[in-house]
Structure formats: structure tokens, C-alpha cells
Homo-oligomer: A and B are copies of this chain.
Amino acid sequence: MKFLHTSDWHLGRQFHNVSLLDDQKAVLEQIIAYIENNSVDALVIAGDVYDRSVPPTAAIEVMNQFVNRVCGELKLPIILIPGNHDGAQRLGFGSGRMRDSGLHILSSFEDMLNPVVIDSESGPVAFYGMPYNDPEVVRHHFKQSVTSHDEAHQFLSQQIRECFIPEHRNVLVSHCFVDGAMASDSERPLSIGGSDRVSHEHFVDFDYVALGHLHQPQKKGEDFIRYSGSLMKYSFSEQHQKKGMTLVELDENGFKSATHIDLTAPHEMRIIEGEMQAIVEAAKTDPKPDDYLLVRLLDNHAILNPMEKLRAVYPNVLHLEKPGMLVGVEQQMSQAKLARSEMDMFKDFFFEAQNGELSDEQETALKQIITQLNQQ
């Protein structure tokens, strides 16, 4: 039994006011190509298919087309749960009508205890999906004194274990924050103020645990308790993360292996650091100038229209930081006088704007103006 584990697609997400939907579509095409060229038995999506509970219709269309291709044409079953970004009821509409066609949206606690069983050469595998829910919902639904995410997952895992059948290997699909795992900048906290961490101990009786929520691929506690990571990078701080999906293999004895399959967005997210002149120079030989960039400008002097200059060579600079200028500001704060005088700053500006130095006459006139202004 081989299946693909993926999560955190966040279809419809915006990044610095740029829609990522075309990039997301391109990555989904890579998933489809993999399925076409390799033999797998199922695709698991561990929550956050959409970025919001009411996704834009364009995102719904992309998902619909994906599902029609994968379940409809390629006849591969998809098993998915809602994450904290999805709206479970909204996503779950018609789920009862879709199960026979291979799309398994496990969006309720009833669905959770009713696994999707898929046969394979190594025997039947039961996929249990734990739809994302706040602890209060678990407490209310099951009339249990559950107060934290940890207690909720302990309780829900126990409920599921009671459904186990000896012949089955068992896979859990869950969307949660396993204690000790590494967060990224692009996740929305599950809990404000309270603890959202869950012990991996609740999951050790499963043969594989397909996790979603954290955007960095990683395992935690056991080799078979894994985050696939997000479909693509959703913050600049993820620039060095390898995004992809996890190919999971089970055999008669349970977990056999997990392999990372790279997925690459057309536009990578990168941070470029340096002085303006060096960045513009390096751009000439940059093989991917269309990437989404955060540029950290290290120049210490003021630069006129830096964004315009950068976008001439890197059209998708989405964010600009000027730590060099900030150093200047900090120095100013700690000194009685400005580190760079008004005269120096104007000279920088004049140089940028006119591409030349002030004449003696201009400098004298400017000094008078500054003196006058300071006396007011």
C-alpha cells in the first residue's frame, strides 16, 4: 500500500496582495503528473485545503477541477479533512453523496468513526480522519470534560482506537500542533492564549499519522508520525524549506517507509540581501528573476525610489527592508545631534535625483534655508 500524504494547500491565499492561485494550480499539476506516472492507492490531504472558511470561487473551481481529474479521470481516492482554515460544514456539503465516487471529505465526528477502507496487496488499510475542531466543540459534542487541544486529541484518538479491527492497518489523518514540532511564520495559531500543543503519545497505536497544520515537512516522536508540510512556501522565512508531499509505504506489518517528493512552485520565495548596486548587478545573471522576493537593502545612504529600481530587474519584489537605514535611525536616537545632518541627507537625495553634486552656490543657499528652519 502506497499513498501520498499532503496538507496545507491554502488555495486562494494572497501573499503581499498577490494571488498565489496560479502557482498553486501549477503545483497541483505536479501532483497529478506524479499520480499519472506512479502507482499509488490514495491521496490524503490533512486539512487547510482552502485558506478561509469562505474561499473565493476561483479557489473552489481549482479544487473542483483537481478532484475531477484525480477521482474522476485517474480513479484515485482522495481522503481529506478540514483544517483550522477550512469551514467544516461548508466543505462537507454533499460529502455523503461523494464517497462512492472516491472523494472522502471527513468533516464530522460521525465521519471520523467511519473509516475509509482501501484494499491493497498488503491488506486493507483504514483511514480515519479527525476533522479539525476546537476543544470546546469536542467537549460539547461528546459531553466530555475536555479543556485543551491535548485532552481533545487524547479523547478522540481513544474513540478511534475503539473502532480498530485486527485485519486493518490504521492511518490517522489529523490537523494539529504536535508538541516539540517546528512552526513556521505562515501558520495561524490554533489557540490564542491557551495551549495548542498535543502530545504525539496519543498517536503511537496507528501505523501512520498524516498530520497537517505545520508548514515545514517533519516527523515528531516516531518515524511514522509526520507532517508533509504545506503545498508551497507561504512566508519568506520558509525560503530554505523543501516543500513537497510524502510518499508513504505500508506493508503487512505496518509502517515501512516515508519519502519526500519535491514540489516546486513556479515562483520561489526568496530573501536577497545586499547593497542596491550589487543586487542590480547580480540580477543580470539570476536564473529566476521572477521569483517572489523580499529585498533587504544594506545601503546606509538614502536611495530615491528603491522599489522602482529593484522592480526593473526583479519584477516581483514584494517587500523591501532597509536595515542599513534603521542602523542610522538608531544612532540618531542615541546622539544629541543627528548622525547624518539635514545637509548630508539632502546631498544624498540630490545625488539620487539629479545624479550630481550640489554646486557651492546651491550648498550656501541650502545652509541658509536649514538655518532658518531650525530657528523657527
At the interface with chain B, which of A88-96, A296-304, A310-318, A320-328?
A88-96
A100 part of interface (Cβ distance < 8 Å): yes
Docked-complex contact B60 and A96, CB < 8 angstroms: no
A346 and B96 alpha carbons, distance in the complex (Å)? 65
Residues 53-98 (chain A) with a chain B CB within 8 angstroms: 54, 57, 60-61, 63-64, 67-68, 71-72, 87, 89-90, 92-94, 96-98
Contact of A63 among B60, B93, B100, B102 (CB under 8 A): B93
A101 part of interface (Cβ distance < 8 Å): yes
The number of times this chain is found in the oligomer is 2
Whether A94 lies near B96 (C-beta < 8 A) is no
Which residues on the B side are within 8 Å of A214 (C-beta)?
none
Q: With a CB–CB cut-off of 8 A, which chain B residues contact A103?
A: 94, 97
Residues 87-119 of A contacting B (Cβ, < 8 Å): 87, 89-90, 92-94, 96-103
Contact of A101 among B63, B68, B90, B101 (CB under 8 A): B101
- Tell me the complex Cα distance, A102–B57, Å: 24
Closest residue of chain B to A64, judged by CB?
B93
Among A71, A93, A94, A101, the most chain B Cβ lie within 10 Å of the Cβ of A94
Contact between B98 and A94, CB atoms less than 8 A apart = yes
Given the complex, which residues of B lie within 8 Å of A94, measured CB to CB? 64, 67, 93-94, 97-98, 103
Q: Taking beta carbons and an 8 Å cutoff, which residues of A are in contact with B?
A: 54, 57, 60-61, 63-64, 67-68, 71-72, 87, 89-90, 92-94, 96-103
